[in-house]
Amino acid sequence: MSTLTILLAIARKEFIDHLRNGWIIAVGLAFAIFSLLITFVGFGFTGSVGIGQEQSTLFSLINLVIYLVPLLGLLLSYDGIAGEHERGTLDLLRSYPFNTTLLLYGKWLGLFLVLTATLIVGLTAPAAISIYSGHTLQAWTLLLITSVWIGAIFISIAIMFSVLILDRGKLIAIAIGIWLLFVVLFDLGVIGILVATEGDVPMGLVNLLFYLNPAALYRLLSIDLMMDDAMITQLGLMGQIPPTPALFAAITAWTIIPAAIAGWRISTLGK
């Protein structure tokens, strides 16, 4: 069998296993309900019920993605390798005549497809309603792409810790801790620094802090790609967002580096 065939076979099994336990349907529907509520109410920007303005609706959905998708990626993937280890199947799989890194990257691909399917289910209905009411397809396509990408980052992070720790009990606590750190505590920390210094902080230092947090990078990239100048000004970010190529490079690094560390680690297990 070719390397690609093995990779796709592992990814297919991972995807089907999660499809059978109802993960895609349940989470996708929950995400769709939240998205529809935001689409109709205009969450925080419009004062009446109805289809909200596209920019405010998209900004609210970006914040929804920041809170939910990283958590989904972590909980979906934290036991990807550790679970195989505790069930005693990891050694069996490693005895097969293919590189063990294929097992890891096949699982990563399968989990990525699960998350992608979940987000498609969750965003299809609100996107259809918004587009029917006269809004653009481009913005919703960008929202789906960036949302899948932030999910891929947290799948990579979870897979990395799954290989490094190999203990499901510890990993669930680590997964929740990572979510709290990047999604909740980071923003509070930045606000605390700005308050303590009365805003006298070099913008270069603030940008550096953003590069250390993939959730913050996702927010900045999504705003940069989907918001117009008026909305960016209203958010107080005009001239404050790092260059788009730098954001893409940082998010790419956050996706690849944890997965590469996981690949290196699984190839050294038992040596």
Please indicate, yes or no, if residue 65 is contained in any of the structural domains.
Answer: yes
Please indicate, yes or no, if residue 128 is contained in any of the structural domains.
Answer: no
Q: Per residue in 88-121, pLDDT tens? A: 777 666 666 667 888 889 999 999 999 999 899 8
Pull the structure tokens for residue 90.
């990891």
Please indicate, yes or no, if residue 35 is contained in any of the structural domains.
Answer: no
Our count of domains for the chain comes to 1
Single-letter amino acid code for the residue at 125: A
Domain that holds residue 72: 3-26+55-121+134-268
Please indicate, yes or no, if residue 200 is contained in any of the structural domains.
Answer: yes
Measured in whole angstroms, the distance separating CA 116 from the mean position of its chain's CA atoms is 10
Could you count the other beta carbons within 10 Å of the beta carbon of residue 104? 24
Q: What does the pLDDT average to over 222-230?
A: 86
Please indicate, yes or no, if residue 10 is contained in any of the structural domains.
Answer: yes
CB neighbour list of residue 161: distance below 8 Å, 6 or more residues apart? 78, 171, 174, 175, 178
The burial class, CB within 10 Å (0-12 / 13-18 / 19+), for 218 is buried
Q: Cα(121)–Cα(76) distance, rounded to whole angstroms?
A: 16
Name the residue with tokens 């290989």.
163
Average pLDDT, the chain: 83
- Of residues 202 and 17, which shows the higher confidence score? 17
